Structure 1
Amino acid sequence: MTPKVTVEAFHPRDAGAVAEVRRAAVPYLVCTAESVAWEAESGPVSGRTRWLVARDSGGRVVGCADTGLLISSSEPGHGYLHTAVRPDARGLGAGAALAAEGEAYLSGLGADRAWTWVPDDGNSPGFAEHRGYVRGRRACFLGLDLARAPLPALPEPLPEGVELRTAWDFAGDRRPLYEADLECTADEPGDVRHGFVPYEDWLRLNWDRPDIDHRLTSVVLVGGEVASYSVAQTDGRERYWSGMTGTRRAYRGRGLARLAKLDSLRRSRSEGRTRAFTGNDATNAPMLALNRSLGYVHAATEWRYSKAL
């Protein structure tokens, strides 16, 4: 009997089909064939990234998975496993087959825990729990109609000592952005605690990615020092995703994160982006309030799950 699905290693020619699967399964994220190919082939070596595809009996890519080690985790032995299946192909066993292959790969790397994200769609949580995954924190997707949103004007003039720049202005020396990002991500609420990431790995993840637009990423300086930033990921067409917005501890409480994000959104709209999305931990009240003040509304919910391997 011919199996309903088969799982095999990702090949660069699959990049376009995998991007379609991910966009269909999680329509809020920025995902292009170029970014998929980059993630599969060019991520940090220490992450040991592996991509998989699931094909139906006709050879169509109906599901995908990416898995590897969580190099940013402060605890060793943690890995990630993200699976996605086309909504019109559910029930064929693609998700189960991808999960089994991904878990086996992580175990072979010596990982003792797999982390994943599960949409709160009434079906996926049950699937995850049946496979032994345990529910963690809740997170929210927020969306903004960037083409029509009445975005506030930027303050004019800016407060004394405050400057707005772009990440591209730091192309010659990216360490100030690296240091700010390490500090801010360490304070992000979540089940996985972030630790030290070597500079070269950070460059691969946060500078070399083809979907990060350094000219639309805003950086706020105070007294010449990086104080806050908002990372722009785009598909080069209409979609915009806030990769990370953060403020260094010494500068919090002054509205600088809002300034950075507002500047990035306004410039992105002028460059033709029409749909903006972001994600927040459900307990991150300051960022949720900031995003709602800019016009973002709730789009969907997902849960963090993990499994001991």
Structure 2
Amino acid sequence: MTVIVRDLRSTDRSEVEGFARVRHLALPYILWTADAVLHRLARSHPDARFRSLVAEEDGEVIGTAQVQLANDSPDPGQGMLNIYVHPERTRRGAGALLVRAAEEHLRAHGATRLFSWVLDAPGNRAFAERHGYAAGRSAHFLRLDLAGGTLPPRSSPPPGVELRSAADLADGPRLLFALDAETMQDEPSDVATEFTDYENWVEESWKHPLLDRELTTVAFVEGRPAAFSMAYTDASTGRYATAMTGTARAFRGRGLAKLAKNDSLHRARAAGLTEAYTGNDTGNGPMLAINKWFGYEICATEVRYVRELG
């Protein structure tokens, strides 16, 4: 049986669903849907040179790759490739073929340093190291049982603070963009990110099919947007994920991010969602502490692997 690697056929709905299914089986801590896969393929900035690749065996998608340049980074020459193979279809050469195709694409577009997230498991780490990648920083996936767990009680916002959903904001995209752009600069990462292109952010983030504007909460202080918790949801599975939580620098230290996220989680549970996921860099002590307060538990860890291209 021969494994081949090629671009995902966006016009083939069953193939796109197969891509999402492999991703879900390999990495169940992130929300994967066919619509989300198509959205990223269609709306990623041209400078990212984004590609979705599949490894196919006898007509079945058994491996996937998402490949791009870090176009939102001020540092040129950085590429990212994330490879996931169906857990029951490993050791067929799919992963190696995907890595080779991804690296060739990134090298052709000027990448000199490559980053890849790898689950913290012996086989996964050994695979990355065999291909010349070295371990770097790590991050945790966390899960919260929304249906059976106990959330901290909701509290009234302090004087001067108002909580509103993104769906209720007349200028929601611009407010969230400003908050996201500022807080992302302080997010622990080995790839610096700067959001400067509002129109691109609208296409990629505000129009994302999983973004739940009703459950995304923004905290205002005396009328100024101060903190937010952005929610992704997949109603078909009852799953909720925090895409980003943060506070503008001028308002930090007041518990506003915790207030916004607690509001979003309570409303998510009231809407019938049953599981909540999030992720944090292992060095992000403040956010890990907040999520522990909510009742999240670590369910997996991934490691950022790096390869310098000669």
Q: TM-score range by the shorter chain?
A: over 0.9
Matches within 5 A, 1:183-262: 183-237=182-236, 238-262=238-262
Cα contact 1:74–1:196 (8 A) shared by 2: no
Amino acid at match of 1:107: R
Q: Which residue of 2 aligns with 1:86?
A: 86
CA-CA distance at 1:197 after TM superposition: 3.0
Q: What is the CA–CA distance in structure 2 between the aligned matches of 1:212 and 1:269, rounded to whole Å?
A: 16
Q: Which residue of 2 aligns with 1:149?
A: 149
Q: Deviations over 1:177-202 (max 9, x none)?
A: 21111110000111111224311121
Cα contact 1:69–1:79 (8 A) shared by 2: yes
Aligned residues: 305
Q: Which residue of 2 aligns with 1:132?
A: 132
Q: Deviations over 1:133-180 (max 9, x none)?
A: 111101101110111121122212x20110001112235452222111
Residue 7 (structure 2) aligned to one of 6, 9, 16 = 9
Matches within 5 A, 1:18-37: 18-37=19-38
Amino acid at match of 2:6: E
Gaps of 5+ in 1: none
CA-CA distance at 1:205 after TM superposition: 2.1
Cα contact 1:166–1:219 (8 A) shared by 2: yes
Matches within 5 A, 1:102-113: 102-113=102-113
Cα contact 1:71–1:197 (8 A) shared by 2: no
Q: Deviations over 1:85-110 (max 9, x none)?
A: 01000100111100100010011111
TM-score (norm 1): 0.96
Q: Deviations over 1:229-273 (max 9, x none)?
A: 011111123111110000111111111111111111111111121
Q: Which residue of 1 aligns with 2:174?
A: 175
Q: What is the CA–CA distance in structure 1 between the aligned matches of 2:67 and 2:227, rounded to whole Å?
A: 31
Cα contact 1:7–1:52 (8 A) shared by 2: yes
CA-CA distance at 1:282 after TM superposition: 0.4
Q: What is the CA–CA distance in structure 2 between the aligned matches of 1:197 and 1:31, rounded to whole Å?
A: 27
CA-CA distance at 1:302 after TM superposition: 0.5
Amino acid at match of 2:273: R
Q: What is the CA–CA distance in structure 2 between the aligned matches of 1:196 and 1:32, rounded to whole Å?
A: 25
CA-CA distance at 1:215 after TM superposition: 1.1
1:44 aligned onto 2:45: yes
Q: What is the CA–CA distance in structure 2 between the aligned matches of 1:116 and 1:224, rounded to whole Å?
A: 41
Amino acid at match of 1:125: R
CA-CA distance at 1:115 after TM superposition: 1.2
Q: What is the CA–CA distance in structure 2 between the aligned matches of 1:285 and 1:16, rounded to whole Å?
A: 36
Q: What is the CA–CA distance in structure 2 between the aligned matches of 1:46 and 1:105, rounded to whole Å?
A: 13
Task: Select between 110-119 and 284-293 the one with higher mean Cα deviation.
Answer: 110-119
Q: What is the CA–CA distance in structure 2 between the aligned matches of 1:226 and 1:155, rounded to whole Å?
A: 19
Q: What is the CA–CA distance in structure 1 between the aligned matches of 2:172 and 2:7, rounded to whole Å?
A: 37
Amino acid at match of 1:80: M
C-alpha change, 1:196 and 1:38, in structure 2 (3 Å) is closer
Cα contact 2:166–2:172 (8 A) shared by 1: no
Identity %: 44
Q: What is the CA–CA distance in structure 2 between the aligned matches of 1:180 and 1:21, rounded to whole Å?
A: 33
Q: What is the CA–CA distance in structure 2 between the aligned matches of 1:182 and 1:40, rounded to whole Å?
A: 22
RMSD (Å) for aligned C-alpha atoms:
1.2
TM-score (norm 2): 0.95
Amino acid at match of 2:32: C
